[in-house]
Chains A and B, each alone.
Chain A
Amino acid sequence: KAGVTQTPRYLIKTRGQQVTLSCSPISGHRSVSWYQQTPGQGLQFLFEYFSETQRNKGNFPGRFSGRQFSNSRSEMNVSTLELGDSALYLCASSLASGGIHPSFFGPGTRLTVL
């Protein structure tokens, strides 16, 4: 069974640009959640999608958005990039929404904003 895949793995952008990251969950999983990992803050929850609906949202500005497609693949978008957005973005998949915990994480997308 293939794991959670994220593309691209590495990305370099400049301030003011926008970026779109993609996550494909494990086959059969319908919930995808996104996290931002930075050295100073650890892992912080961004949002969760289930059946194309956002079920939960963290404390991030509106520049961070996401969506989920009918095949459960999810994308997150960050507009008007800031230097502080440089981080590892992780997505996790689960069978159902509101599950006890996300068990399967992807390897992450390393975003660098210059």
Chain B
Amino acid sequence: DSGVTQTPKHLITATGQRVTLRCSPRSGDLSVYWYQQSLDQGLQFLIQYYNGEERAKGNILERFSAQQFPDLHSELNLSSLELGDSALYFCASSVAGQNTGELFFGEGSRLTVL
């Protein structure tokens, strides 16, 4: 158990809909990262937050947004969903904001868009 909690574990929805994925980092970790894993794109970095502020942005679509709240949990919002958004979405956390150490991953949220 990594200590990172993601909900929901599975989600099935229709095209055009909006979903919210939630992540609770390990106790004490200030950084939260979101990754998307699909068969054709592999693991893609989406966005990082550190202590409530956006720290780095990767291949995140404009239809997607995220935030980190004062209690350090984070939410990833996916809107106007398309079939191609079907993927595993992972949250990871780390203590620091710099690239000095390992990331702790949650078990992921599997999104299926029909």
Partners in one complex: no
Q: Which residues of B contact A (CB under 8 A)?
A: none
